[in-house]
Amino acid sequence: MTTDPHNPEVLTRVRTEVEAAALVTALAARGIEAFTTGSYTAGFRAEAPGEVQVLVRREDLARAQQTLAEIEQDQTEIDWSQVDVGEPEDA
């Protein structure tokens, strides 16, 4: 039995819809189509934490995993002391 290369595979699971959306956008910028599931339950405020799954096509999974590793590496290399985040807004 062959597997369909277009079937969705879970790339990763994250805590928030915002984090998932940023990842989907970053993948799209690199030519990898991704989508999310679980946004509704992740946003639900209850005692049990939810999660958002980021999915890609099976045929894109290896490249998406490599891209995710690169994105995570880039994030750890940010020198926040050199980033101008502006002045705080008055509350």
CATH code of 47's domain: 3.30.70.1530
Rounded Cα distance between 46 and 82, Å, is 38
Total domain count for the chain?
A: 1
Rounded Cα distance between 1 and 49, Å, is 37
Identify the domain containing residue 54 by its residue range.
Answer: 8-71
In a domain, 82, yes or no: no
In a domain, 88, yes or no: no
* CB-based burial, 57-70: b 16+ in 10 Å, e otherwise: beebbeebeebbee
The pLDDT assigned to 64 comes to 96
Each residue's pLDDT expressed in tens, for the chain with a length of 91 residues: 568 888 999 999 998 888 899 999 999 999 999 999 886 554 555 555 678 899 999 999 999 999 999 888 877 666 667 667 677 777 5
Q: pTM above 0.75?
A: no
